[in-house]
Amino acid sequence: VEVRPVAPLSALRGKALVARLLDMMDLHITPELADDNRINLTGQDAGIIIGKYGETLKSMEFLLNLMTRGVDEGERIFLDSDGYRERRELSLQRLALAAARKSVKRGKPTYLEPMTSWERRVIHITLKDDSTVETKSVGEAPTRKVVVWPVTPARSSSGPARRPGRRRA
């Protein structure tokens, strides 16, 4: 009888590491492996681990990936907390669509608040097929933000060559 792990070793190792970190932080959070090999953090202190706009969650994910970098080749660890990432993505999509409507209505660019690269990417992807607006990331981290501006007739006739920064996150 062959015995196989229930998940990739990187996910199992990540779950053990995050459990140790959470214990050292004295937080009442339980790490659980999800079907997609994400580690879901759930419990009464889940709001603390998410942090403002998911920054604490992203930081812990970054640390875990640094800690396992030399051990698991190419296997990234992803953290979530009770569906936070999905809720945040939906919120960002609504923000992108509202910014597009505002830009077109005013005929001026709309500057969004600074965001992480993942958040900026969601904005760019949400609006990539909208022919009424263009998007571009501007600035330097940590204040890098997305600008959404309306496409004028002169811009739209020049075609895709005028959109080099459109998909940059």
pLDDT score at 74:
59
3-class SS shares of the chain: helix, strand, coil, % to 5: 50, 15, 40
pLDDT in tens, 38-53: 899 999 999 899 988 8
Mark the ranges of the chain whose per-residue pLDDT is less than 70.
4-5, 71-74, 153-169
In this prediction the pTM is: 0.73
9-82 fold: GMP Synthetase; Chain A, domain 3 (3.30.300)
85-162 fold: Ribosomal Protein S8; Chain: A, domain 1 (3.30.1370)
pLDDT score at 154:
55
